């Protein structure tokens, strides 16, 4: 008696269908007939990396305008159709890419793809909608100017990445948003929106070949001969000594701080050991050692944790905390002491085992939904990790040794070369 075929729960090369259309657009599909819905996500290389200093926020402005009106439909028409189908579609922008995501029932996928196609290819940037959106963006920047956590983050990036594109805020400044014209938006769209480098992933109760045919029908004819390619990132200039900056904001009852350094890129071989080390440092349980020392034992912080932010270029490895202004120096001293301890002794055997078990145990949970699988597929494709990445994931996690974590920590964390950014009264 033959055993029935059991589909693996983790996505891999056996069930991720991949096709590249003649115009360069890559389609990734995975079937899941346990759900009557689909999730869609993707990106194309049209991010803030292409902006000039005088037009910071342009990519975000354009991405936010794509569904404000197309050659075929008005703003109201687009959202009325989505609402009547119980579907969703949206765009966002980052440093490197403009991304999109949506959900619908299977029978409404043609509508979702049609709206995606129209928004990408034929946005009209209606003057009235642009001015309403500009007002919203300026309101957001006014709120940012009073947010101590946002200001500390922004100053941290400016110091750490001085002279590098990553130093610039992708949402711009009030003066740059004010300077952006409709013509600027049309030109940015003309130069940077196109099928080359675009990726779309769809997961749900669908047959992969039929989905590729549907994407081909609505987007296969999209041609942009003059679509510009992203330039290579300049090298990051290392920090030579600890640098500090405080942004004074009167009348605030809380100070926020960011202490950190450059971290690995997502594809660097030491990424996994850095990630697991970071879990011990300031994520696992009650926010790891940082949370335990600064918040739980000393009572100095409202929140305290560490994070590893890795992507295409150099990432950040940072500690964030919100404290009573009177405790700012004490909190900084404790965090610096904990970083010195971390690079001297690394992690314990038990800390490593606990974090590894947590990593392996939570992976299936992150892949329970169609949207979770879409994110996972886009992640491994964007960073060229291999379609079998999640099949190998548990082994990759278990392969990390205490010595690996210590070596990686010492490579990236130098207590004598930190960037310390604070904001508050």
Give the distance from CA 195 to its chain's centroid. Answer: 21
353: Cβ–Cβ under 8 A, 6 or more apart, which residues?
none
Burial (0-12, 13-18, 19+ Cβ within 10 Å), 403 = exposed
Look at residue 295 in the predicted model and tell me its pLDDT: 87
- For 421, phi then psi, to 5°, come to -120, 130
Question: What pLDDT does residue 4 have?
Answer: 38
SS (H, E, C) 142-158: HHHCCCHHHHHHHHHHH
* Bridge partners for 343 per DSSP: none
Domains defined along the chain, listed by start: 17-219 (3.30.830.10), 243-424 (3.30.830.10)
What is the predicted pLDDT for the residue at 230? 81
Structural contact between residues 215 and 113, judged by C-beta atoms closer than 8 angstroms: yes
- Average pLDDT per run of 10 along the chain, which is 425 residues long? 50 95 97 94 96 96 97 96 97 96 97 98 97 98 97 97 95 97 97 97 96 97 92 89 95 95 96 97 86 88 94 95 95 96 96 96 93 97 96 97 98 97 96
Q: Is 239 in a helix, a strand, or coil?
A: coil
Q: What is the pLDDT of residue 3?
A: 39
Tokens representing 368 are: 């329970």
């Amino acid at each position: 008696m033959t055993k029935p075929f059991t589909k693996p729960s983790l996505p891999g090369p056996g069930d991720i269908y991949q096709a590249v259309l003649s115009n360069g657009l890559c389609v990734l599909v995975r079937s899941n007939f346990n759900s009557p819905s689909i999730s869609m996500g993707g990106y194309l290389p049209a991010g803030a990396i292409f902006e000039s200093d005088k037009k910071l926020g342009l990519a975000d402005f354009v991405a936010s305008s794509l569904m404000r009106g197309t050659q075929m439909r008005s703003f109201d028409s687009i959202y009325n159709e989505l609402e009547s189908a119980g579907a969703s579609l949206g765009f966002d922008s980052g440093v490197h890419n403009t991304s999109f995501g949506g959900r619908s029932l299977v029978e409404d996928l043609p509508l979702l793809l049609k709206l995606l196609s129209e928004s990408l290819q034929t946005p009209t940037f209606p003057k009235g909608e642009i001015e309403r959106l500009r007002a919203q963006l300026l309101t957001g920047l006014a709120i940012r100017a009073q947010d101590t956590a946002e200001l500390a983050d922004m100053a941290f990036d400016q110091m750490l990445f001085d002279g590098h594109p990553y130093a610039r805020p992708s949402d711009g400044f009030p003066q740059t948003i004010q300077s952006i014209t409709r013509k600027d938006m049309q030109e940015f769209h003309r130069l940077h929106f196109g099928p080359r480098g675009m990726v779309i992933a769809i997961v749900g109760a669908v047959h992969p070949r039929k989905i590729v045919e549907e994407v081909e029908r609505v987007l296969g004819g999209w041609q942009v001969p003059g679509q510009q390619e992203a330039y290579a990132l300049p090298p990051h200039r290392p920090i030579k000594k600890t640098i500090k900056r405080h942004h004074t904001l009167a009348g605030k009852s809380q100070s926020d701080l960011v202490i950190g350094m450059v971290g690995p890129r997502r594809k660097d071989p030491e990424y996994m050991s850095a990630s697991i080390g970071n879990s011990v440092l300031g994520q696992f349980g009650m926010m790891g050692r940082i949370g335990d020392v600064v918040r739980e034992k000393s009572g100095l912080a409202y929140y305290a944790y560490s994070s590893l932010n890795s992507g295409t270029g150099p990432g950040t490895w940072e500690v964030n905390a919100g404290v009573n202004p009177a405790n700012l120096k004490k909190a900084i001293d404790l965090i610096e002491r904990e970083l010195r301890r971390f690079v001297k002794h690394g992690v314990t055997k038990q800390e490593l085992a606990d974090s590894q078990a947590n990593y392996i145990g939570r992976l299936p949970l992150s892949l329970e939904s169609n949207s979770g699988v879409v994110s996972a597929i886009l992640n491994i494709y964007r960073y060229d990790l291999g379609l079998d990445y999640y099949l190998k994931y548990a082994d990759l996690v278990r392969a990390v040794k205490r010595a690996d974590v210590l070596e990686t920590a010492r490579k990236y964390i130098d207590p004598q070369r930190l960037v310390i950014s604070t904001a508050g009264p």
